[in-house]
Amino acid sequence: MVGTSHDRLSGTGGLPMKTATADQRVKPPEQRPRRAHPWAWFFLAPAFLVLLTFDYWPLLRTFFLATQGTDLFGAPSGFVGTDNFELMLTDPRFWNTILVTFIYTGASVVGKVLIGLAIAIPLSSRLKGTPLLRSIVLIPMAVSVAVAALVFKMMFQPGTGLFDQISGLFGAGPAGWLTQPQMALLAVVIVDVWCGLGISVLLLLAALDGVPEEVMEAAQIDGTGTLQRLWHVKLPLITPTLFFILITQSIAGMREFTVINLLTGGGPGTATNTLVIDIYKTAFGSGTSDYGAAAARGIVLLLIIVTLTFIQMRVLERRVHY
């Protein structure tokens, strides 16, 4: 349960970057057996209790729920083994959901990284006045996803919204932002990219600023052009950060609910029906309430997130590049 509290900002669906190396420290040198201070467990207790109640226990319960059938009234109808998984995996709608989830996540991660770079690179070139610009770019971090989604929804309104009005100036008709399947998917990606832009630019700026001046000067003396330096020197030097953004934002994208729920509710049809939206609808949607099927989908989400986190730890052990 804890994951949600920070993921949008710091992308901590995954582990922070230093975990992998931080713990391989030397063992404490002392010879006598260690005995915990009596107060230590008392200090750990509140946090333990919360995590046990709202993370570990519900995780177990989710696995249990996934083996339970559901009757017409939404009440559990007893043990059904792997039925929920079999039904899910043979349902073409489920595979469509997975496809939509990956397209949505992939597109928004690519958007965040590319647009993030397009903003961070010129910003990091140490011009006068950039502190102000740097602050402005952080604005998306301050605006809640719900508010952002609702503002964009207004701008996406067919005909009267800002986007259709602007395209109208060029003689184009309404684009069907939230009503055409592909446009709707594009719309939710745009909003998600905007929401994640602040943190993406922030991290990229810190990385770009961290590239030592001497390295760039050396490259310049060697007679490389600006673009060459960018491509062959700067970008390789910030690959750890690029990778960090890639993974954490992938995790965030896989888990995004607010943007899609508020803009399209998963529609039109199933065009924006991602895994998380599907879990929510299956468990709490109007009419249906199938906790078993929803729990099975929840476990799929868990597997995806755990996989992404392990990739992150693996690659970090190898120290992406330097």
Residues between 79 and 138 with contacts to another protein, criterion CB under 8 A:
118-119, 122-131, 133-138
Interacting positions 151-190 with another protein (CB under 8 A): 151-155, 157, 159-162, 164-165
Contact between 141 and another protein by CB under 8 A: the answer reads yes
- Least distance to another protein, CB of residue 40, Å: 3
How many Cβ atoms sit within 10 Å of the Cβ of residue 207? 20
- Least distance to another protein, CB of residue 70, Å: 11
Q: How far apart are CA 256 and CA 169, in angstroms?
A: 33
Q: Which stretch binds another protein (CB under 8 A): 87-95, 106-114, 176-184, 202-210?
A: 202-210
Cβ neighbours of residue 251 under 8 Å, at least 6 residues apart? Answer: 7, 11, 13, 14, 305, 308, 309
Interacting positions 265-284 with another protein (CB under 8 A): 276, 279-280, 283-284
Interacting positions 13-72 with another protein (CB under 8 A): 13-19, 22-23, 34-37, 39-41, 43-44, 46-48, 50-51, 53-59, 61-62, 65
Q: Which stretch binds another protein (CB under 8 A): 97-105, 172-180, 221-229, 236-244?
A: 236-244
Peptide bond into 268 cis (omega under 30): yes
Tallying the residues shown for the chain, one arrives at 322
- Least distance to another protein, CB of residue 260, Å: 11
Q: Which two tokens stand for residue 218?
A: 């050396």
Following DSSP, what letter does each residue of 76-88 receive, concatenated? EEEE-TTHHHHHH
Q: Which stretch binds another protein (CB under 8 A): 82-90, 98-106, 205-213, 222-230?
A: 205-213
Contact between 74 and another protein by CB under 8 A: the answer reads no
Angle at 233 between CA 229 and CA 234, to 5 degrees: 90
- Least distance to another protein, CB of residue 92, Å: 23
- What backbone torsions phi and psi does residue 85 show, to the nearest 5 degrees? -70, -40
Contact between 209 and another protein by CB under 8 A: the answer reads yes
Q: Which two tokens stand for residue 118?
A: 């397009």
Angle at 258 between CA 254 and CA 259, to 5 degrees: 85
